[in-house]
Chains A and B, each alone.
Chain A
Amino acid sequence: MIKIENLSVAFDGTEVVKNVNLEITDGEILGIVGESGSGKSVTALTLMGLVSETAEVTSGRIVVDDCVLREAGKPVDKKLYRTMQGDNMSMIFQEPMTSLNPTQKVGKQVGEMLKLHTVLTKEEIKAKVLETFEAVGLRNPELVYNCYPHQLSGGMRQRVMIAMAVILHPDLVVADEPTTALDVSIQNQIVALLKDINTKENNSMIFITHDLNLARRICDRVAVMKDGRIVELGATEDIFLRPQESYTKNLMEAVPSRLKRRVSAMKNADNKEPIVQVKDLSVFYEDRGSNPFAKKVRKCIVKNATFDIYKGESLGLVGESGCGKTTLSKAILGMNMITTGEVIQTTVRPQMIFQDPYSSLNPSKTIGWLLQEPLRARGILDPSQKMTKADMEAAAYEMLKRVGLEEKYFTRKPSQLSGGQRQRISIGQALITRPGLIVADEPVSALDVTVQAQIMELMQNLQQEMELSYLFISHDINVVYKMCDRIMVMKEGQILEIGETEEIFAHPQNEYTQTLFRDSL
């Protein structure tokens, strides 16, 4: 049993974890949910003794099985932690690529745990590693044993990480966003595996996530954190169905879910005027590989895509990473070189919104400059549309208001804005020339739940006001459900299915679509 009593942690005098009380009993999965900066990771890292040296425990203590692991005002007992880490508790991180040593075979890395904590012989260690690999669902463990991390897929790497975390049968496993970097269907397998391990080993698990739907699926109890405090703690279904605190209520409200009714932002659903017609489009990449003298090899990324995007609608595009979603969208925007088939555009210069708000705005410019740049570019391309300086400035101010930001941001630089604010500027920048079609590539995936809800609302409002069409790419089925009027499912470069949102969710025809939707519930 693990007890965190009145724990506060500070960095440079600022408390990021404030008076946290948590108790984890055997066999339980405790979820810690909250938005970025809420202190959930710092809490877990402090528990594990992995928090950076600059962090200071200012109050409270951590007790594991009646043994005081850490107490405010006392130095860290590194020796005690070393025996605890691995044997009694272990951790799974978000990014399996950076958590594994790229220069060592994964089998050896997992075996290292046994070498340090047990007295097994070489042969016994290998046998045990293979056995654990098998247990975490790695088919062909012998082969995996001799692989380097880069030779494995993301899902397999995460399984290796899990194997490393459970090989010593610890009493506590802390999983910090273990599935965030993975595809939906893989995500599901990993969650199932973690739950399975939990039941078999009867150990405790702390599951940290920003994805509330995921927490609901796996956790027995959930703690909601905000600004370093635990706002609410209770049984999962209680928290989700009967939240007590106003913050939790807002949070639950913001979670996109298929169980909530969908409101379409499409103005006239009956008038179907195509704004883009894609006919039999195939997209290729040419690659020489690493040999500059080799003949280029042509690879087909998108195969024979045919569909329309109507005026004022949102068309969702779902599929796993590498299925050709982004390539297809780039082809529609005219960014790919080698295509066959036809794309008929009725809009001028459709624009794109990217996932990462931190890299989609030029860091050396002011917000005002950024908002005016599309107008300047248009003026240079087509002198008849040239605007005066004052007109452009006025248009930029107007757009700033439209995307819900105050005038004072006009002279600021992107680095002074939050992620959500930056994404608003990206949207404003895309819309200022009134392009008619916006390709949004995972526009809300990098944002916190409440910010995500705000951005989606903004996008829907603007869609109604300006009669925009969106091609909305996302891996998050619930977000797509909320935003889109029609949904298109892609796999391995082919469009498997396309249809009205309600229809396709109620009666998915394709087997792949069925599993995709089931996995995301």
Chain B
Amino acid sequence: MKKSSIWKNKYLLIGLFMTGLCLLLGILGLFWTPYEPTKISAAERFVGPSLKHLFGTDNFGRDIFSRVMKGLSATIVIGTSVVLFSATMGILLGALTGYFGGIVDEIVMRITDALNGFPSILLALVLISIFGNGKQNVILALGLVFIPSYVRIVRSEFIRLRDADFIKRARLMGVSKVRILFVHILPNIFSVFWVSVMIGFNNAILAESGMSYLGIGVQPPDASLGKMLSDAQGYLQRAPWFALSSGLTIVWLVLGFALLSEGVQRMNNN
């Protein structure tokens, strides 16, 4: 990969900038925020954006910028965990079903077909109602919901590569099956896989925000972008910055990741 072509890849650059800023704020938010995000101040209700309060304050007089930072960190932690969980499971299941085929493949694929039949948020809602509320359960529910998409991609790549000449030769050399799966084939699917991971991250973020908006994700008083958006709904006219700050942050993050994945895809194609 030449340096110059990275600089020419606008999608990649803008995507990196947008997601980088969010990640920075989110990670910073884990340790430090300008104000205590849960501190209530009756005197400072609905203060508009200013240098003191960048995004203004909400109906309890809490600093919105601090809450956005906290919300971002929650979103990033959940999104990353969901992707890690579902991508790992997807690689394992996809590799096994794709490489070996047979009856296990049939069963796993029919299960994923069934899961794909439901809208993902709906399925996550069902799982949450079984597991109960809470961050861990949101991660688990979304993680399970997103496994099929990874299984499909990994499986089709493994099917494509399992009969390649270089894999036949590896078999003749006496390379073990596990090593063929994860050392010989797996690195070859990463270029395709990265893109789907980034799209998956986006979907996870949106799903988490949606669930928090509906009140079954992150529980108050913890900040969450989706929950903030739903709280802000009642004050759209009185304090438009409340809804805008949380809403635009979600848009910014999702758009950033979409651009990033497009950029990576273009980089792979060259």
A-to-B contact residues, CB < 8 Å:
333, 335, 349-352, 354, 356, 359-365, 373-374, 377-378, 380-381, 426, 429-430, 433
Contact = CB atoms under 8 A, between A and B. Distances in A.
B172 A373 contact: no
A390 to B, nearest CB: 21
B42 interface: no
Contacts of A381: 174
A363 B168 CA distance: 14
From DSSP, what is the main secondary structure of chain A's interface residues?
loop
Closest 4 CB pairs of A and B: A364-B187, A360-B165, A354-B165, A377-B175
A356 B165 contact: yes
B184 interface: yes
Contacts of B129: none
B173 A354 contact: no
Contact of A359 (B164, B171, B176): B164
Contacts of B170: 362, 373, 377
B169 A380 contact: no
B169 A429 contact: yes
Contacts of B166: 359-362
B184 A352 contact: no
Given A362-B188, A363-B188, A364-B188, A377 B174 contact: yes
B32 to A, nearest CB: 41
Given A354-B165, A380-B179, 13 more contacts: A335-B172, A349-B172, A349-B173, A351-B172, A351-B173, A359-B165, A362-B170, A362-B188, A363-B188, A364-B187, A365-B187, A373-B170, A377-B173
Interface string B179-204: 10000100110100000000000000
A380 to B, nearest CB: 7
B169 to A, nearest CB: 6
Contact of A335 (B164, B171, B187): B171
B187 A373 contact: no
Given A363-B188, A364-B187, A373 B165 contact: no
A362 B184 contact: yes
22 contacts: A349-B172, A349-B173, A351-B169, A351-B172, A351-B173, A352-B169, A354-B169, A359-B164, A360-B169, A362-B170, A363-B188, A364-B187, A364-B190, A365-B187, A374-B173, A377-B170, A377-B173, A377-B174, A377-B179, A381-B174, A429-B169, A430-B169
A352 B172 contact: yes
B172 A333 contact: yes
Nearest to A333: B172
B172 A354 contact: no
Contacts of B171: 335
Contacts of B184: 362
Nearest to A359: B165
A374 B190 CA distance: 24
Contacts of A433: 173
Nearest to B164: A359
Contacts of A333: 172
Given A362-B184, A364-B187, A364-B188, A352 B174 contact: no
A378 B174 CA distance: 7
Contact of B168 (A349, A354, A373, A374): A354
B99 to A, nearest CB: 15
Contacts of A373: 170, 173, 175
Interface in B137-193: 164-166, 168-176, 179, 184, 187-188, 190
Nearest to A351: B172
A425 B216 CA distance: 58
Contacts of B179: 377, 380
A349 B169 contact: no
A79 B208 CA distance: 59
> Considering residues B166, B174, B184, B190, which has the most beta carbons from chain A within 10 angstroms of its beta carbon?
B166
A433 B176 CA distance: 17
A430 B179 CA distance: 18
Nearest to A355: B165
Nearest to A334: B172
Contact of A380 (B164, B172, B176, B190): B176
A349 B174 contact: yes
Nearest to B188: A364
A491 B168 CA distance: 25
A349 B174 CA distance: 8
Contacts of B188: 362-364
A364 B170 CA distance: 14
Contacts of A352: 168-169, 172
Contacts of A356: 165
Nearest to B187: A364
B199 to A, nearest CB: 22
Contacts of B172: 333, 335, 349-352
Contacts of A362: 166, 170, 184, 188
Contacts of A360: 165-166, 169
A289 to B, nearest CB: 16
> Considering residues B170, B172, B184, which has the most beta carbons from chain A within 10 angstroms of its beta carbon?
B172
Nearest to B190: A364
A354 B187 CA distance: 22
A379 to B, nearest CB: 10
A356 B184 CA distance: 18
B172 to A, nearest CB: 6
A361 B184 CA distance: 10
Contacts of A380: 174, 176, 179
